[in-house]
Amino acid sequence: MSEIIGYILSIDAIFTWALASLVYKWGLGKTEPKANIFFRLCCVSLSTLVFALIFGNIFFLRNLNSTEIFLFILTSIISGLSVTIGDLFYYKSLKKIDASRAYPLTQLSLIFVYPFSFIIFQEVATPSILIGGFLILSSVFILSSKDKEEKSTNLKRGLKDRISEDLVVGVLLAIATAFCWAISYVSYNQARELTGDIFYPNFVRIFFAMITIAIFGLFQKEYYDGFRKENKKLLKYFISIGIAGSLSLGLADALFIKAAEINTLVLTSTITANTPMVQQILSIILLKEKFRKRFLLAVVLIILGNYLIIFL
């Protein structure tokens, strides 16, 4: 029964992350990445505090010695900073390539999560999980590859060099995002193991990230653009990204870590690597992005991968 609950929490995270990625793409069409980072962190800090006060267990501090409290704060800071740096990379990636191409690449975080889980948490990956994960990651490359028609169109328009440069930069930023997010999830899971709670570590990591960006923003004023009066007309975009961040970074991340507690970080990370399929469907429906024929092949690989993971 507990495993089923873990699967349900993973599915919730998948849909929340996928939908949030589209909101980010929509909002970034009118705003700049740096302007969104601080505004979003302020919204998420508030929401994670509310979630912690309602659902968290503050009494975990009674059971920790000074060394464990230090490790809790350290892992939370590492998680908060790495997820924020990763988000900045992701925002910039979305400026270069479309969401249906950028988001699948971020799921390469699975490659980085595996070794960390083996070394830090002594988790074991069964052959079915490894093979299933390989099939799902194969679908990632299929979803994020460039169409022949696109290449031909760009060449005819004389945009080949610029498009190619944007594609390379966008892909590299997405991969950097994957690495940072992997570090964040591993650190967050470590904080959860120390405390036995998922909500207060989430608040602490986001709060430290917000403070860091607030200080850094003193030297780069564009981080505060979301709060400037002259950007009042863009407020709906900032608020939308703030709400999406609260549901994604604030709640879905916590549910993901809870699922990892139930089903291990390796298995949960492998399951949530399905997020690009959901994101692709939502991109086509909501953002009217192009339907790629190779999407059907990716779906077949994802279904096969999930079958191996869950039923074998």
pLDDT in tens, 20-52: 988 888 887 788 888 888 999 999 999 999 999
**Containing domain of residue 219, as a range?**
2-311
Residue 20 Cα distances to 177, 209, 242, angstroms: 16, 19, 10
What burial class does residue 23 get, using C-beta atoms within 10 Å of its C-beta: 0-12 exposed, 13-18 middle, 19+ buried? buried
d(CA 23, CA 286): 10
Predicted TM-score of the model (pTM): 0.82
pLDDT at residue 312, as a whole number: 59
pLDDT at residue 140, as a whole number: 67
Question: Which has the minimum average pLDDT: 143-152, 196-205, 245-254?
Answer: 143-152
- Cβ distance 173 to 90 under 8 Å? yes
Q: Domain total for the chain?
A: 1
pLDDT at residue 98, as a whole number: 73
